[in-house]
Amino acid sequence: MLISAAGPGSVPVASPTGAAPTDFVPAPQAGDYPIPANPVVAVCGATGAVGRVMLETLERLDFPASRVRALASARSAGTTIPYTGPGAPDSGQLTVEEMTPDSFQGVNIALFSAGAAITKQFAADVNAAGAVIIDNSSAYRMDPEVPLVVPEVNPADAHRHNGIIANPNCSTIQMVVALAPLVKLAPIRRVVVSTYQAASGAGQAAMDELYNQTGDFLAGRSFTPQAFAHQIAFNCIPQIDVFLPDGQTKEEWKMVVETKKILHNPDIQVNATCVRVPVLRSHSESVNVEFDAHAGKYVLSLSDVRAALASAPGVVVIDDPEHLDYPMPAFTAGRDEVFVGRIRTDPTVENGYQMWVVADQLLKGAALNAVQIAQLLLP
């Protein structure tokens, strides 16, 4: 059971208007899941954009697996994926296997990035086989019995699982990595965030559409959007995921409730606007933070905020306006860290500060965060 600021089990599961998405399903309950020093790891959804980066990350970080298995749909079964990290076959190629209920026998850790429906379909089978799920989908993020973990922020929560650990939404992850060191300075009362999210956050088909539409647009050829509701080339789309009855999108709702859960603070106010932009990889966020420095109990300065961010794990500060130096998505793709710049005071509110936060959503926003959670489980 997670421990929140309001006591055991009091993690918020509803939207600010009190209405949770209608697809909420409780996670299955399970027992103990001992993890050996050299676990067998299954990557579920291995042929997708995030699944492939999961495999690359396991290899790059030398994750001490005794064996790595690549699972996907029947359509992908029999194809191969290069892998030479610990647990790799002698050929240096993983043969993709069809994911079935029997696929998880002998598996210790299952990294899922195949969508919420697939996670829900196989969760009971994975747990029955004795494996822990680290899930990149939204399937169980707001289940109060499932920890929602960012290792730089709430690593202890990973050890309070009942067989499933949820990876937060990509846009939430990079924001809370930047907020975590600031929470240690003083309580945060309110966060206002606007996101500028790359096409790759919607998958490989979305990246292909951005490439192809850009060429068609420049050549004067007509095109019909497929992966997005509207043209993405040379355009911004102020909608990510479906609209909820209160007018916000589900992506925005995720940022609100996930931030509360990860920071163990149901009282923090979060307002998000999420926008898809014609960038291939790396999400950017404009984040305004208002501290609750009530009655002068906390004395904050811009230098305090800068110093806290500069010393935070997983954060790189790039902030030199004189030399036009600040984080940009074109130069952070392929990097593990969360980059922060444009750090300044917000003169419109008392104890307010602003920052610009950029991270590769396929890495820290998804695959890397999942592998880091797996590292936390090692004995």
The residues assigned a catalytic role are 170, 283
Q: Which residues contact 111 (CB under 8 A, 6 or more apart)?
A: 41, 42, 43, 44, 51, 54, 134, 136, 370, 371, 374
Provide Rg for the chain, Cα atoms.
21
Report residue 208 as tokens.
Answer: 């292909």
How far apart CA 25 and CA 109 sit, in angstroms, is 22
Distance of CA 48 to the CA centre of its chain: 16
Phi-psi region of 90 (alpha: psi -120 to 50; beta: other; left: phi over 0): alpha
How far apart CA 234 and CA 236 sit, in angstroms, is 7
Q: What is the dihedral of CA 73, 77, 80, 82, to 10 degrees?
A: 30
* Beta bridge partners of residue 188, listed in sequence order: 291
Closest CA to 164 of 144, 193, 194: 144
Phi-psi region of 354 (alpha: psi -120 to 50; beta: other; left: phi over 0): beta
How far apart CA 2 and CA 285 sit, in angstroms, is 28
How far apart CA 199 and CA 282 sit, in angstroms, is 9
How far apart CA 162 and CA 23 sit, in angstroms, is 21
Report residue 361 as tokens.
Answer: 């959503």
Query: Is the separation of the CB atoms in 289 and 355 below 8 Å?
Result: yes
What's the burial of 60, exposed, middle or buried (CB within 10 Å: 0-12/13-18/19+)?
middle
Sort strands 315-317 and 269-276 into parallel, antiparallel or unpaired: unpaired
Length of the chain: 379
